[in-house]
A and B are shown apart, each in its own frame.
Chain A
Amino acid sequence: MLSEIDSKVIKAIIKGATIPQEIAEETCAKVEAVRASADALAEKGLVKVSKSIEETAALTEEGRRYADEGLPERRLLGMEGTSLSELKDPSLKIGLGWLKRKDWAAIEGGKIGSKGEAPLGEDEMALKILLQGPKKTTEIDKKALAALKSRGLVIISTFKSWSYEVTLEGSKAAAEIGETAAEMIAQVTPEMVKSGQWEGNCVVLGGKHYCTRPYDVTLAAVRIYPGKEHPYQRLIDRMREIMLEMGFTEIRGQIIQSSFWNFDALFQPQDHPAREMQDTFYLSTKALIPDFTKVKEMHECGGDVGSTGWGGCWSPEIASQEVLRTHTTSVTIKYLADHPEPPVKAFGIDRVYRREAIDATHTPEFEQLEGIIMDRDVTFANLLAVLKEFYAKMGFEEVRFRPGYFPYTEPSVEPEVFIDGLGWVELGGAGVFRREVTAPFGIDYPVLAWGLGVSRVAMLKLGLKDLRLLYQPDIQWLREMPISLRM
């Protein structure tokens, strides 16, 4: 804010008063006060000060006399033939030197001898001008003035003077105190942009001043949010990337599967608890199932791979019941059945369904990642190496392998990763598909397989306490979860 005197001064300047005296009159203040205020305003960049220094030449007493009478050397010219000894006036004696210097006359035998020509000099003209009164030094020939000054005929005095004008910044400041020298604007218009007459934040357009209103840039702005992928999807994308980097082909399959592909093809006995209504979403529909002779043999008596089988009687009726797939392995085994020749490396990340009541850590549907490698001479130790690589790429450096159990793999393993603050956390399952699984489909080489609950990883990576948030999102959470969050 400007002080009262500053405000008055800047207003006076805007009204056209430019020098301290005028401003003083306008503001009814003392000249000194005006100058002090104007200096302060200049300090703030609101006022531009033009300071000028002026020199004035004026005749001395002697100078005035010479201007009247003529310079001594001019007078001496009129005294041709006069003997030097007759010259009593001391000033005339001085004139003798100048007579010689100006080369107007020669002294011969103690007498003044004219040389004829003696034009009016610049010094004499200056004297004439100065006789009218003091003049600015700039109006008078410099050499002449210097000569006159050296002869003590002229004295030079110095005067300082100030004049003021308001800067655009000052206009704006004045506008803020109610003077409409410049219009404050919120938005720059295309005309203003094109005019190009900008100084700072102000522009002159059509003879008017406009200044953009300054803002408190430290204040928070209205929040905006980019459109973005779901953070969970970004995690899935990262996993897909890893699998593709590792040379796996992506596969997909139907959500609705027959029990045959979901269970029987994986050597899950038909009375296995996981197949019960409590755990699996059954549909009322039946599927057409492929030739099941070998699968039936395998379940009942172990086929021809030296297995005991499960015994009992295997029912195609039960196998044709449709379910919402309970794991992505149903898609994998079907893919293997269609591609029994090595090598096969395939993966899928897809939604699976379990008949579980919803709570913070259980949802009836969730994503599973599954990868398989089928080739000649691949081993269980190879599988562990692949798992270690995969988890390392996921950012889990410390991995250990605990023996596990899954009905369709042997050997089986439960990989665990070490998480600070949680210890060893089980993250997925893996194993080599049993011969009872692969043989009926003509798959003659080991199949290394592993699966992973993706939402478990999401809980760890996103620091999630409640899985439901993934599927029934809080939009603010989505808006604020940074895209750059490393997962």
Chain B
Amino acid sequence: MPVVRLYYEDLEELVGASRDVILSRLPMMGADIGKKAEEAYVDVEFFPDRPDLYSVEGVSRALKGFLGTDVGIPQYDVHPGRVVLEVDPSVNAVRPLIACAVVRGLEFSGPAIESLMDLQEDLHWGLGRNRRKVAIGVHDISRVEPPFKYLAEDPERKFVPLDFTEEMTMRDMLIKHPKGTGYGHILKGFDSYPLIVDAKNRVLSFPPIINGDLTRVEEDTHDLFIDVTGTDPVVHKALNIVVTALAERGGKIESVLVKRKEGDFVSPNLTPARWIINCAEANRLIGFDLPPQELAAALERMRFGAKANDQGVDVEVEVPAYRVDIMHSWDIFEDAAKGFGYENLTLELPKTVTVGRPHPIEARKAEIRDIMTGLGYLEVLPFTLTSEKVQFEHMRRLSSGEIRVLHPISELHTILRTTILPSLLEIFALNQHHSLPQRIFAVGEVVENRKTKLNLAFASIHSSANFSEIRSVADAVLQEMMIKAGIELSKDGAFLPGRAADIIDGEKTIGVLGEVHPAVLRNFGLEQPVVGFEMRWDEL
């Protein structure tokens, strides 16, 4: 989740409240304050559904509402601008969508520039799916000359990318520029790359990779051109988040006329979305009992526009254009609950009457634990992820029925276990410095042929571990579990020939026990005799 660094001084000034008030109320608005608060700033995590909070400006806007100093929907004027951007149909295949705006009259000193850059990066992550869906470019507009053009160009086209002094081709940038190697995969398979140029064919941006060095934002930059390109209509929301954050800093938003073959439009569009919500429905979901006026007031604290209608049944809601998370009326109800305060809800247990029932498999597991602990065995809970090496090679068994994960985190965790005994041997190997005998068991899931099944395994290690010991325990376990099974000589290579037995239930072999073969013991690095047992006792 994005971590937003909030400088107290900046935040206090923007919000108009002391840091103590802010820090105590912030979590209840839906934020996770980092454990270590620094002298000058605090790091706060916000959720992926609220990219409008990924900047100090966005946070202060929300806080002003939450603290009651500035409630209701924020008003942002979009002044008609003269900048035109023409979209060439050549981008349709590679990166069809663009939204853009001009913001003038900014002062980029201190934290403001850092906040803007962080916001951009967090939006790339949160909304942009690492720039695939959305990529944002911010430019000093004074260095270039409108009208601008968004087109797809030959990868051999050259310009000087940000942080470089030499011209290079777009193709080379994908190989040589750190941003190119990071995001170049998005353009894989395309033979022309997206580009924004000015009236003199100078490059502003090579989305979604890198800006041109020409329009770099410096401390003396005052007027910005912002482009948001992508593959999803959410580009407009991303632009709204950026321009409204800048407006909170005193920027003046100017529209851009976007000319397209499919039809021109004016960007940005900060018109709020209108919802009518039913007050009774909200009360039913949240469990409070608010009249429409109070419901509206709670929403206004969350910076919605909200007005109880004349009948006193519904609330008309205006959703700010920077909110991306309002998909359904319940999303608005949740905000009403936040605005009301979760801590102010009256908690009452539901009246639902039901009788609890354990799952038969869990009840059975508890019995097995009773049996095994009664026999002096310690329970262990090994990982279910293991490797072919441990499951089969080390055990001198043929692989069978195992499920491999596609991208293992390490060669130790490549498959789901089909048996548990190998894990017990691994645990013995980790515990050779402790006194013997050691007797351990595990009861739990294995996965065979994609199905979850249930096994019991136990093992004993000490200098005189032998077949009669494990046979006695096995007999006791079968007796206690009320399993009537036959015992036959086993050919399982994990055990010493003539010292291993299969457990037979009807026609099926359900388990095996015996003296673990010394070759197997050496594979696990063990130096003492081990006897072991494993049995399948159920499946899901």
Chain A residues near B (Cβ < 8 Å): 223, 225-230, 232-233, 237, 240, 243-256, 271, 273, 277, 281-285, 302, 305-309, 311-312, 322, 324, 342-345, 348, 351, 353, 355-358, 363-365, 373, 375, 377-382, 384-386, 388-389, 400-405, 410-414, 424, 426, 432, 434-436, 446, 448, 470-476, 478-479
Contacts and interface: CB of A to CB of B under 8 A. Distances in A.
A405 B288 CA distance: 20
B50 interface: yes
Contacts of A436: 327-328
Interface stretch (B99-107, B216-224, B371-379): B371-379
Given A255-B445, A256-B450, A237 B373 contact: no
Given A282-B406, A385-B348, A402-B27, A476 B434 contact: yes
A332 B50 CA distance: 27
Across the A-B interface, the 10 shortest Cβ-Cβ residue pairs? A379-B287, A381-B287, A405-B47, A403-B30, A411-B334, A385-B347, A244-B356, A250-B359, A227-B373, A307-B328
B378 A478 contact: yes
Contacts of A243: 356
Interface stretch (B200-208, B259-267, B381-389, B508-516): B381-389
Contact of B452 (A250, A256, A388): A256
Contact of A448 (B350, B409, B413): B350
6 contacts: A230-B381, A351-B445, A381-B286, A381-B288, A434-B328, A475-B440
Nearest to B348: A385
B40 interface: no
Given A251-B359, A384-B342, A256 B378 contact: no
A474 B438 CA distance: 11
A378 B350 contact: yes
Given A227-B439, A403-B28, A410 B450 contact: no
A252 B540 contact: yes
Contacts of B287: 379-382
A305 B331 CA distance: 13
A245 B384 contact: no
A424 B34 CA distance: 11
Contacts of A402: 27-28, 30, 32, 342
Is chain A's binding surface mostly helix, strand, loop or mixed?
A: mixed
B181 interface: no
Contacts of A305: 328
Contact of B369 (A233, A309, A348, A478): A233
B384 A351 contact: yes
Interface in B408-457: 409-410, 413, 416, 426-427, 430-431, 434-435, 438-440, 445, 447, 450-452
Contacts of B372: 227
Interface in B333-382: 333-334, 337-338, 342-343, 345-350, 352-359, 361-362, 366, 369, 372-382
A446 B283 CA distance: 13
A356 B407 CA distance: 11
B337 A252 contact: no
Contacts of A244: 356-358
A252 B361 contact: yes
B198 interface: no
Interface centre among B345, B356, B435, B439 (most CB of A within 10 A): B356
B328 A308 contact: yes
Nearest to B358: A250
Contacts of B366: 237
B330 A386 contact: no
Interface of B: 27-30, 32, 47-50, 129, 133, 232-233, 284-288, 327-331, 333-334, 337-338, 342-343, 345-350, 352-359, 361-362, 366, 369, 372-385, 403-407, 409-410, 413, 416, 426-427, 430-431, 434-435, 438-440, 445, 447, 450-452, 540
A283 B406 contact: yes
B328 A302 contact: yes
A385 B349 contact: yes
Contacts of A380: 285-287, 337, 345
B30 A475 contact: no
Given A240-B362, A472-B430, A478-B378, A365 B383 contact: yes
A57 to B, nearest CB: 77
Given A384-B347, A404-B47, A284 B129 contact: no
Nearest to B132: A271
A386 B351 CA distance: 11
A332 to B, nearest CB: 13
Interface centre among B347, B349, B369, B426 (most CB of A within 10 A): B347
Nearest to A267: B327
A271 B129 contact: yes
Nearest to B445: A255
A405 B49 contact: yes
Contact of A282 (B285, B342, B407): B407
A240 B349 CA distance: 19
B385 A365 contact: yes
Contacts of A432: 285, 330
B540 A253 contact: yes
A410 B347 contact: no
A281 B28 contact: no
Contacts of B328: 302, 305-308, 410, 434-436
B355 A247 contact: yes
Contacts of A342: 352
